[in-house]
Chain A
Amino acid sequence: MTEATVIESHWQSDMRDGLRDVAPVLGAVVPFAAVFGAVAAEAGMGMADIMLASATIYAGASQFVMVELMGQDLPIWSIVLAVFALNFRHVLYSASLGRHMGAFGFWQKALAFHLLVDPQFAASEMRALKTRLRPTYYFSYATAIYSVWLGANLLGILFGALIDDPAAWGMDFLLPLYFMGLIMGFHGRGHFWVILSTSAVASIIVHQTLGSPWHITLGGGVGLVVAAALSKPKEAEAAA
């Protein structure tokens, strides 16, 4: 096989795998995006503003908070600070995933980080673990979520009042199940069960006390501290 055919086959299989992996996520994105469109329109935002927010911020939970705070007539800086705090977990995502982006060019990286939503991060880490993370896989996955997110947003703005009960199809629980499945893909890694259980317990405690979304950053933070504490130096460093 020539080098060109190897690249060609990567390109095809990366795209196919990206679209296959993203498929179950799309079912959860549709109702979430439609509800955001409906809620923002209900709050008095115009269609162009809602679409601008979804295209440029592209972080659903924080957009709900932004809409809510905009309705309370707060100073601009406090709204921006709330969004920044809510999205702070992405710092960890990019610190971790950036190490697997060796195959990405400068502008590819710059664009990729804009598209780094929760399922994108989880699926890309899994991809890097199993084979190698290449731009075609990343952007196939990202394009599917991004376009469905914007499309369903628009549907929510236009037909918000018609949304049926998402619980009837289990859509309210689709993302937790998807993330659960992804977590288990890492079960071969060192200290897997300790990190999983300490993060989960800490998250539930924070969720019951401080509330959402702090459980993600603080609960996960406990797991990271545990992982760091259990780490042993590599042999090279030990010998030095």
Chain B
Amino acid sequence: MSDTVLIILLCAAATYLTRIGGHLIMVRFGQVHHRVEAALAAVPVAILSALVAPSLMAGGVPGVLALGVTALSAMRVSLVISVGLGVAVLLGLRAAGL
């Protein structure tokens, strides 16, 4: 086996460990404290917010306004439509030279 293939397979194993690890830990410990439960319930919002936040800084005015439009519209309309509105705002403002 070449070093490249070995590295790839070890990286794959390490990645799979992260993807199944959290679940295995939860199964092992069963009943969890209410604070752990609250933290887990917050995972989607906390991690996704952390994932998106730097885009506010990197996207300039079009990026910030596009994210704002998508955020507000997503509370009312479907995800596809709100993403489409955000893209439209982004491209419109970029075309306007902002």
**A residues at B contact (CB < 8 Å):** 20-21, 23-24, 45, 49, 52-53, 56-59, 62-63, 66, 70, 76, 79-81, 83-84, 87-99, 101, 109-110, 113-114, 116, 118, 121-122, 125-126, 167, 169-170, 173-174, 176-187, 189, 191-192, 195-197, 199-204, 207-208, 212, 215-234, 237
Contact = CB atoms under 8 A, between A and B. Distances in A.
A177 B3 CA distance: 39
A230 B55 contact: no
Given A52-B5, A57-B11, A79-B11, A220 B47 contact: yes
A114 B45 contact: no
B20 A204 contact: no
Interface in B59-93: 59, 63, 66-67, 70-72, 74-75, 79-80, 82-84, 86-87, 90-91
B5 A94 contact: no
Main secondary structure of the interface of B (DSSP, over half): helix
B81 to A, nearest CB: 9
A53 B41 CA distance: 32
A105 B37 CA distance: 24
A27 to B, nearest CB: 9
Nearest to B43: A96
B1 to A, nearest CB: 11
Nearest to B59: A173
